[in-house]
Structure 1
Amino acid sequence: MQIDAHQHYWDPARGDYGWLTPDLAALYRRFGPADLAPLRERAGIARTVVVQAAPTVDETRYLLGLARDDDSIAGVVGWVPLLDREAPALIAELARDAKFKGVRPMLQDLPDDDWIANPALAPAIEALIAHELAFDALVFARHIDALQSFASRYPSLRIVVDHGAKPPIVEGPAGWQPWADRIAKLARLPHVHCKLSGLATEAAPRWTEATLRPYVDHLLASFGPDRLMWGSDWPVLNLNGDYLLWHSIATTLLDVLTDAQRDAIFGGNAAAFYRLEV
């Protein structure tokens, strides 16, 4: 079974997507399961993991509501105010929903690059571990050192790096470092996984297989086929690509692998990491 490990649904009318403005014309409308269904079916994707796009608990509940009504949604990664004293209780409440699989604090948007080092996060993180929930890390290369220290403190926490830590592909060879060294170092921690997603968005327009190959190869060499999972990042992907193109090119970029290894990246790893019922 193929699984899209990272996609979004949203409705701007809900009013809590601060980043989603009319200037982003390709994205500024409601996107729901019916919009993705024909693309999923053409790509052979059976289930998805829906990831939060607004830093609100209300959006998390909205996504869980969609998941209850659509079996294609295998899991939801939501948002919780991790520094709030009520965070552990809220995590426990949300965890009662079988499709609630993890949280994402949107680290890339926080003003403090070292926010994740705050010791006051400990009660919420311990609650995630206790309820067997995952942690999605939305970061740039500049956040990786802090993320590595955080991950080292919590070896029992399942962590996945979204979008390969967003390498600055648009800069070409000049943007390779320090991303490449930092992500390789982070990958030495065995409980840290990575999503093969979001790369097209970081590239210049008219990107090709050759544009993305060095980055995919480096992530594969760093994490191995057992800790990578494919995701579309749809509909954000629509800013600089499309679902079927990215799925096709990712398949080509991984053609050096065995069938079992490709199956893992395109589904098995996501199912195991998020503890999906598939």
Structure 2
Amino acid sequence: MKIDAHQHFWQYDPVRDAWINNQMAVIQRSFNPTDLKPLLSRNGIDGCVVVQSDQSEAENEFQLANAAQHSFIKGVVGWVDLQADNIGERLAYYSQFDKLKGFRHVLQGEPNRALMLTPNFRRGIAALELHNFTYDLLIFPDQLAYSRELVAAFPNQPFVLDHIAKPNIKAQQLDDWEQELRALAAHENVCCKVSGMVTEARWKQWQPHDFRPYLDIVFEAFGPERVLFGSDWPVCEVAGGYDAVVSLVQNYLAAFSAREKALFWGENALKFYRLEAATVPPLLK
């Protein structure tokens, strides 16, 4: 089974969604499951994980309703206030929804770059572990060191790094990002989504070779059993589109083994998000 482990739906609101500026006019509209299904089918992808784009519990209701109506939506990554005093109660409530797999906070936008290390936030992460929820790390490279400290404190909590931490691909910057990414990858409770890259490059002017140094580092650091495919649709539409993102990764993986490709395109996502009972055999040598 092939899985797109990172995409979004939203009912566009120009105030709430002010992050979608005029340079991103192509996505200044609503995007729904019926928009995505033809793209998945055309690319041979069987299902997806929808990730929050609004920091509210109303977002969870919206995405869970989508998932209930469309069987190809295999999982939801929602939002909850991890710093709330009643975080345990909220997570106990959300445990009743089989398709709600984990949560995310937009840490990349926080003025306090080390918010994830504050006592209240760490208390929320500890509660996730108790309720078997995953956590998506949405950060910029300057927060990689803080993320490393966080994941080290919770070795039994499954984390996944979104968008390879958004390095500056446009400027082909590697050094600090590479060092910190490798340090984060040393923690085996962390996976990495190969997603969101095209929007960090020169929009619609990028070439496949722009991404190879980054992909080489990610696959070497995390290994084939801890990397997941994500399209970041519809955000990717500003920089090339769904088909282009799939083609980019397919070309990079051309020399990989069939086993490694199966892990990347679906089995790792099935295992990380517990999308269905899946036994992943050891990597074939």
Query: What is the TM-score with the length of structure 2 in the denominator?
Result: 0.94
Distance in 1, Cα, partners of 2:92 & 2:238: 36
Deviates more, 1:107-116 or 1:87-96: 87-96
Cross-structure match for 1:90: 90
The one-letter code of the counterpart of 2:211 is L
Write out aligned runs for 1:147-186 (5 A): 147-172=147-172, 175-186=173-184
Task: Compute the displacement of 1:14 (Å).
Answer: 9.1
Separation in structure 1 between the aligned mates of residue 106 and residue 261 of structure 2, nearest angstrom: 29
In the alignment, structure 2 segments of 5+ residues that lack a partner are: 278-285
Secondary structure of 1:24's counterpart equals helix
Range 84-93 or range 131-140, more displaced: 84-93
SS in 2 for 1:26: helix
In structure 1, distance between residues paired with 2:50 and 2:14: 17
Percent of residue pairs identical: 35
Matches within 5 A, 1:1-278: 1-13=1-13, 16-21=16-21, 24-172=24-172, 175-205=173-203, 206-277=205-276
Q: For residues 25 and 248 of structure 2, what CA distance do their matches in structure 1 show?
A: 25
Deviations 1:181-222 (A, max 9, x none): 110111000111100000111001311211111111110010
Whether contact under 8 Å (1:140, 1:165) holds in the other structure is yes
Deviations 1:118-174 (A, max 9, x none): 0122332222111211000001110000000000000011000000000100112xx
Contact 1:137–1:160 (CA<8 Å) still a contact in 2?
A: yes
Contiguous gaps of at least 5 residues in structure 1 = none
Question: 1:268 corresponds to which letter in structure 2?
Answer: E
What is the deviation of 1:18? 4.1
Question: Structure 1: how far apart are the matches of 2:120 and 2:164?
Answer: 27
* Partner Cα separation in structure 1 for residue 52 and residue 232 of structure 2: 11
Letter of the structure 1 residue corresponding to residue 74 of structure 2: A
> After the TM superposition, which of the residue ranges 12-21 and 179-188 deviates more from structure 2?
12-21
- Residues 1:176 and 1:211: Cα distance change in structure 2 (over 3 Å): same
Quote the RMSD (CA, aligned, Å). 1.4
Paired residues in the alignment total 276
The residue identity in structure 2 corresponding to 1:132 is: N
8 Å contact from structure 1 (residues 271, 277) kept in 2: yes
Following superposition, the deviation at residue 61 of structure 1 comes to 1.3
1:159 & 1:242 partners in 2: Cα distance? 27
2-side partners of 1:60 and 1:240: how far apart? 27
Q: 2:69 is matched by which residue type in structure 1? A: D
Give the Å deviation of 1:15.
Answer: 5.8
The 3 A distance-change label for structure 1 pair 78 and 15 is farther
Task: Please give the per-residue CA displacement for 1:200-251, whole angstroms capped at 9, x wherever unaligned.
Answer: 1100131121111111111001001100000000000011011111111201
- Do the aligned partners of 1:209 and 1:249 also contact (CA within 8 Å) in 2? yes
- Structure 2 Cα separation of the partners of residues 69 and 22 of structure 1: 32
CA contact (8 A) 2:116 2:122 kept: no
